[in-house]
Amino acid sequence: MTDPDRQPSPDRPSELLSEGSREEAIDALTRLEAADADARKRAIRTLRDLAETESSAFDGLATPLTTFLNDEERAIRLTTAKLFVALARSGPAVVRPVVDALAARSADDEEFYYVRARCAEALGYVALDHPDAVSDPELLADLRVRLSFDEPEVREKLAKTLAYVAIGDPSRLRHQVSSLAEHLDDDSELVRYYLCTALVAIGCEHPSKLADARDSLARLLDDERPYVRGRAAEALGLLVRVGDVDVRSPDRTEPDDDDAAAFVASRLQFLDAARDGEVPAATADGVGTLAALRSETEAVVESMLSADDEECSRCGLTLPKGGPPVCPGCGAPN
């Protein structure tokens, strides 16, 4: 017989899910709401680990899990938001029923900004495969408006979500080109990159709409970040193909990194060919196509971020630029 006063096991929900016992897992989650903060935190963290490999096991659990998005402990709300990101990345259909809850938490100005950022990120992953689920005009307007004033970490996730909305359905944002272009001068390279990606996605099906972003995109041909330059050139190439648009060649030299150089070069070639009227309907490497955007966007961001990594001079451990003052591996000053 179960002792009602006994502290529920934090590992129990994930164990039950792994066994396929969803109803029992939901019951275990309900009982965990009354557990102490450490138990709740451990339970959500364990579920997040499971979500990365077995997202299908969470079918029907998204709604019960939203309870922890409103937990009194900020760390638990953040861990829960990260859990939803993991689920949305690997099994977006599982998260679709709780889009409204994620949108509400993302838009809550009183919420910790990292929680808001992760909730916005989860919405983006859902939008890739289920664009109709993230199509509410008020939600999309909120994402755009907060690009003007939110924390940098949140703006990056908002821009990512808008890019994924556009990749999922380019028509959703086709009337918002001007408002997106207003933020192409953001200090964050990720914001600039994601918004350029959104514009490329729009241009794949509505290239003439990019005329409203022409000047902003042209300025980015000299951006200090190669992947931003490449995406801007790609968007301009799509625009040039459908209209008499004068776009000068960029002044910047190519980056030292081979992958980045190849990325920029292929898109500058796309732009040059478009100006000469030589671009076929589809290029061999997928430049200017939604399929390429869908498959490569995340990998490009990983390359952008890894390019900013540094190495410890003593032990060689990879450290993020601007990371901790002391190497966690050997204790040497960073």
pLDDT digits (tens, 9 = 90+) for 49-65: 999 888 888 988 999 99
Structure token digits, residue 257: 């990194």
pLDDT at 318 over 60: no
Region 232-259: mean pLDDT is 80
Taking the C-alpha atoms of residue 284 and residue 282, their distance in angstroms, rounded to an integer, is 7
Name every residue whose Cβ is closer than 8 Å to that of residue 9 and which is 6 or more positions away in sequence: 28
Find, among 228, 220, 218, 206, the residue nearest to 300 by Cα. Answer: 228
> DSSP letters along 76-116, please?
HHHHHHHHHHHHHHH-HHHHGGGHHHHHHHHT-TTS-HHHH
Euclidean distance between CA atoms 154 and 144, whole angstroms? 12
Write the DSSP symbol of residue 254: P
CB 149 within 8 A of CB 182: no
pTM for the whole thing? 0.86
pLDDT, mean over the chain: 86
Is 177:212 a contact under the CB 8 Å cutoff? yes
What is the model's pLDDT at position 114? 95
Residues in the chain: 334
The mean-pLDDT minimum among 91-100, 213-222, 269-278, 306-315 falls in 306-315
Distances (CA, A) of 314 to 309, 317, 324, 328, 331: 15, 8, 15, 12, 9
